[in-house]
Structure 1
C-alpha cells in the first residue's frame, strides 16, 4: 500500500454483459464508481467502495473482482438484485449501453474516516439512493476532499432540467470534477464544453477536467488551462476508459499531496506543471485500458510503462 490515505468511493456496481458482432456474450464487473475503486486499489491506494450488491451470481462475480484488487466492499444489505447493463460494441470498439438498474442505497457508516470521497454516475442521480449519496458526501466534505464524475447515461437521467440541477449540485460540492465532452453536450447542448467547464469551475471546484476520447483531455484552473493528447494505442474497446482516467488522475493527485487533510487548500494553488503531470497519468491510465477488453485499468507497473508513451501536456 502506498500510504494511509483513506479513499472512499460511493456508487453502483454493474454487471456489464458485453455483446459484439460474431462473438459470444461476456460478463465483466463494471459500474463507473466501482471501476474507479478497482483502479485505485490496483494502483496501491487504500480504497473502500460503498455500494449495493445482490446475493446472486453477478454480485459474487463483482465481489470477487473487487477483492482481487484489494477493494474493501461495504453494502447496505438491502438484498436488491445486482444491476446489469448490456454493452454493445461496434466494429470500432465503441460502446453503447442498455441498463437494468435499481439504486436504493441505504445509509451505511464507513468503517474508517474517509480523507477523500469520490462519487458520480447513476448513483448521484437515481433515487432513492441518490439522496443517500448526496447526504453522505455533504457529511464527509468537512474533513475530506471530494471528486465527482457525472458519467451521463441519458436513458437513466430522467427529466433533463432536474438532471442538470442534480449534477450542478454535485459539482458545487466537489473539489475535482471530470466530465467527458459527450456528458457536457447532453447536459448543455447549446454550450461549448469549454464554456461549461469554466462555468462549473466558478461554482466551487478547484479543477475541472474534460476528456475527449481520441482527442485527449483538458484541465481548467482559474485563469489557466492545460491539455494533453491521447496516448496512441490500438483500441480494443472503450469500456471503462473514463473511469481509468479518473483513477489515474486521483492517484496522481494523491501522490502530489493534493487530496485528504489540507488537500483542498493546496488544490486551490495548483500550478500548471503539476496539473500537466496529473493529466498525463489520467491519459496513460485510459490508454492501457482501451488497449484490452473490458474495464481493466492498469496496476502501478503498467501505468509507469504507459507514462513513458504519454505526450507532454500543453498549457
Structure 2
C-alpha cells in the first residue's frame, strides 16, 4: 500500500471516557477507569497510527484530563501545534456497556473547553498543505464554537476535501438540531460518514438508500453509513456498494465508527483522491477505501476502548472480507 505524504486536519473535541471497573468496585463505592476519547480525537489518533500525517485542532483543557489527551495524541504521532491550551474544564463521559458491548454515555459537558472556539482562534489555524479537513460530533453542533467551525469549513473547502461525521448525541443535543443543520453541512461536505443509529435519529423510518439520496441532493458526493456487524453502505453520487465487516471477536465497539472514518480518509489519501471534490473517485476506489476502513474498525472492536490499530498490525493481519456487493441506484 502507498503511504500518504499529504496531511489531513481533524477538528473537534477530546472527551474523557470513564468506564466502571468491577474488579475495584464494591457495593458501597464505584471505581472508574478513565480513557482518552472523543470522536474527532479518536479519528486523529487512528489516522496518525495508520501513517497519515495528521494535524489535530482542538481546545484542550489544562486540567488532568487535558494532560491525558495530549499524551495519547502525541504518542500516536498527532501534530498538536494548532491546538489551543484552554482554561475551561474537559468534557467527561460516563460509559455504560450493554450485553452486546455497545456503549451508551452520560455526559458532563456544560462550559467545557471543546465548545468555546472563537473566530480569532480558528483564523490562526488555517491549514497549509492539508488535503482534507474532517470534523463533526459535538464540536460542530454546540454553540458558540460550532458556528465558527462552519465558517472555517467554508474557507477550507477552497483547497481541501471536507469530511463530516455528525455523531449524534441525543442526551446533549436534540436530534432536531442536527437535522436542522445537516443540509447546510452537506452543502459544504464532500464526504458524510454516519452510523445506522445516527440515521434512525436524523431520518426516522428512512432506509439507508433513501437517506443517501436525500444527502446527495443536499450536496454530499460520498455518503457512507456504517451498519455495525453488517458492514457499511457507501453511495457515490447514487452508485452504491455494500462492504461486509471482517469477522472478529468483539470486546467492545467504542471508537469503531471513528476508526472507520480514519481508515476511509487514510486510504482515500493514499489513492490520491483527496484535495478537491472527489472528481476522480470511482465506485471501485470507494469499495477499496471502505473495505480497508472496515478492517480498521474491526480491529478496533477487538480490543478494549478506543484503541485503533497501528499500520503494522493491519499489515500483519490479512483481510477476511468475503467480497463486496455493489449496485447502481435507480433514478
Alignment correspondent of 1:202: 217
Alignment correspondent of 1:63: 70
Q: Cα–Cα, structure 1 residues 289 and 218, in superposed 2: closer, same or farther, change >3 Å?
A: same
The CA deviation string for residues 215-249 of structure 1, in whole angstroms up to 9 with x for no partner, is 11110122411011111111101100000000001
Alignment correspondent of 2:237: 222
CA-atom RMSD, angstroms? Answer: 1.8
The 3-state SS of whatever aligns with 1:45 is coil
The TM-score with structure 2 as length reference comes to: 0.89
How much has 1:306 moved relative to structure 2? Answer: 4.3
The question of whether the paired residues in 1 share the 8 Å contact of 2:62 and 2:86 is answered with no
1:308 and 2:296 are equivalent in the alignment: no
**Counterpart Cα distance in 2 of 1:59 and 1:243:** 20
The TM-score with structure 1 as length reference comes to: 0.93
The question of whether the paired residues in 1 share the 8 Å contact of 2:273 and 2:280 is answered with no
Aligned ranges 1:1-315 → 2 under 5 Å: 2-19=3-20, 24-73=31-80, 74-101=82-109, 102=112, 103-106=115-118, 107-108=121-122, 109-110=124-125, 112-113=127-128, 114-158=130-174, 160-260=175-275, 263-264=276-277, 267-315=278-326
The question of whether the paired residues in 1 share the 8 Å contact of 2:212 and 2:238 is answered with no
**Counterpart Cα distance in 2 of 1:118 and 1:112:** 12
**Counterpart Cα distance in 2 of 1:147 and 1:192:** 22
**Counterpart Cα distance in 1 of 2:88 and 2:61:** 5
**Counterpart Cα distance in 1 of 2:22 and 2:102:** 12
Alignment correspondent of 2:27: none
Q: Cα–Cα, structure 1 residues 223 and 190, in superposed 2: closer, same or farther, change >3 Å?
A: closer
Q: Cα–Cα, structure 1 residues 184 and 247, in superposed 2: closer, same or farther, change >3 Å?
A: same
The question of whether the paired residues in 1 share the 8 Å contact of 2:231 and 2:245 is answered with yes
The question of whether the paired residues in 2 share the 8 Å contact of 1:228 and 1:314 is answered with yes
Q: Cα–Cα, structure 1 residues 258 and 307, in superposed 2: closer, same or farther, change >3 Å?
A: farther
Q: Cα–Cα, structure 1 residues 123 and 30, in superposed 2: closer, same or farther, change >3 Å?
A: same
Q: Cα–Cα, structure 1 residues 187 and 306, in superposed 2: closer, same or farther, change >3 Å?
A: farther
Q: How many residues align?
A: 310
The question of whether the paired residues in 2 share the 8 Å contact of 1:284 and 1:307 is answered with no
Q: Cα–Cα, structure 1 residues 92 and 190, in superposed 2: closer, same or farther, change >3 Å?
A: closer
How much has 1:110 moved relative to structure 2? Answer: 2.1
The CA deviation string for residues 66-87 of structure 1, in whole angstroms up to 9 with x for no partner, is 0001111233333111111111
How much has 1:162 moved relative to structure 2? Answer: 3.0
Task: Return 5+ residue gaps in structure 2 as ranges.
Answer: 25-30, 327-331
Q: Which has the larger radius of gyration?
A: 2
